[in-house]
Amino acid sequence: MQRPPPADVEHDSAVILTSRSLAAWLHDDAFVSRMLDSAGLTRACPKELTVLTAAVDEVPRYDPRLDLFGSSEGVSVLRGVGRTLLPYLFTPHSVDRSTEPPSLTISMPRTVWPGSLAVQLPLANTVFANGSPHTLYATRWRSDPNSPPALAEKLQRIYQTINLATEDLGFHDRSYSTVMARLIPVTAPRKVLGSLGNIVSQVEIDGQPAPASKELESIVPSLLEQRRTLQGGTQPAGPVGVWALTIPQQYMEERMPTLGPLQLNPYRAEDELRLARLATDEIDWLIANRCRFHRVLSGGGGWGAKQGLLSLDPQISLTTNETKDLAHFISSFKGKAGITTPGTFVQFFVEAADPTREELEALSPRRWGPGHNSDTVTAVVGTSGAAASAPPLDPVGLCPSLFGALSTEGIYLSKNDRRPSAKLDAPRSYVMSHQRFPGPPVEYRSRVPPSSSKSAKGRWRGRSART
């Protein structure tokens, strides 16, 4: 929740998000009125307030013990100036979107590499919470310092854009958003030799053709066993999510940076933690260069022509067009489209293990935590998931400088041109806007387009936790 504004700040708009289980509260006008009052929107002279209320799957929560975000039931509130925070709130939809999944599109402050990103987040299904398939309302309220805000107008919406302008969040003009995913690579990038649509059948390993799942079939069981051994048998035996990072052929030909895989012989938990942090810092760069993560839905094993096939999630956008989908499906059989085509590359990632407090304290200090006395807001939009290696925080808590929304399905990223860019559905994947020092983060300052010299081109390749 955002702190009340200073006396000289004239906020006239707000976004109120609740988790799915609390969706019924948004039908209670008295509750919304109290929220507006507690957010400091009724302390000035009489005015009209524009407010968006919505139910999402969960809201973010920060665990300072692990320096990690997680998901929680609760309410998240952000104030701002209506003309920038909630553009076209009461403007009728220009096209019929009644058949599309209800959603919020959140325009984030720019990231280091992809630039400005819009994040589309599906709304929660609230049928069992309040009887409505979704909960999203545009409302107008009359504010008076001497009485609670009174509802003047209420319209149900299917979708809405929320613009997180830096001035509304109190950020420096050169602050950045960060794309984060707690995934670690377990293989090197492999050239795709055989694929059809969303099915990868064959890759190249050490210059030889091999079934697509060959490495995963030995690496994943070994990783799970070594995690369990190190944790004294307390680490869950599985399952573990696996994602394929598809890499354009041109990216590899230009010898752009890639992440080296986790070393398993010997396996060390601190190596996995360092690699998880390093991978997090690379997500922006990869997405900017048209790399995409796709969850591995099924595959492995088998024999004959079906040996080692891997099925990847083909979805990269929330909205679908049946005509375009059919054309894309047909063209994939002609080798003209598809998630991967022969010649592109694929690298496999798995969910990173949760660190212990001792492991985190041995590394660098906290990087992401919203300050309790901060004048800025940390905005987090992402996927659900709770840190498993720490006992729960207090059941009721206040995060005065944190705003955001989480989805159990995933989030969908698009760039300035609004064309679908990527889907993130790994647990605890986020696009986060955070107050940072002026200029790009240190990790990115030495990254420049590859020069003509081979040594310069290769200096970022194959980084792993120990380099």
Torsion of CA 144, 147, 153, 158, to 10 degrees: 100
The ranges assigned to domains in the chain are 13-181+368-436, 183-351+443-458
Q: What is the pLDDT of residue 138?
A: 97
DSSP code of residue 193: E
Q: In which element (H, E) is residue 234 found?
A: none
Cα 204 to its chain centre, rounded Å, is: 31
- pTM for the whole structure: 0.86
Q: Are 286 and 170 in contact (CB under 8 A)?
A: no
Q: What is the chain's pLDDT, residue by residue, as a tens digit (467 residues)?
A: 555 445 445 789 999 999 999 999 999 999 999 999 888 887 666 689 999 999 999 999 887 766 778 899 999 999 888 989 999 899 876 666 666 799 999 999 887 776 788 999 999 999 999 999 999 999 999 988 788 899 999 999 999 999 998 777 776 666 678 898 999 999 999 999 999 989 999 999 999 999 999 999 999 999 999 988 887 766 666 688 999 999 999 999 988 888 999 999 889 888 998 899 899 888 888 988 899 999 999 987 766 667 789 999 999 888 755 545 555 555 555 555 568 899 999 999 999 987 766 666 665 555 666 655 566 788 999 999 865 545 555 566 777 788 999 999 999 999 865 667 799 999 999 999 876 544 444 333 334 333 333 333 332 344 444 43
Entry field: residues in the chain = 467
pLDDT of residue 236: 63
Is residue 349 within 8 A of residue 243, CB to CB? The reply is yes
- Between the alpha carbon of residue 387 and those of residues 36, 60, 182, 392, the distances in Å are 31, 12, 11, 9
Sequence-separated (6 or more) residues with CB below 8 Å from residue 150: 33, 141, 142, 144
- Contact (Cβ atoms closer than 8 angstroms) between residue 275 and residue 262: yes
The DSSP line for 123-164 is PP--HHHHSSS--EEEEEEEEETTEEEEEEEEEE-SEEEEE-
* Cβ–Cβ < 8 Å for 343, 385: no
Residues 348/216, Cβ–Cβ less than 8 Å: yes
Rounded to the nearest 10°, the torsion over CA 314, 285, 107, 161 is: 0
* Residue recorded with tokens 């492991």: 359
What confidence score (pLDDT) does residue 123 get?
A: 98
pLDDT of residue 441: 41
Residue 387 dihedral angles phi and psi, to the nearest 5°: -65, 130
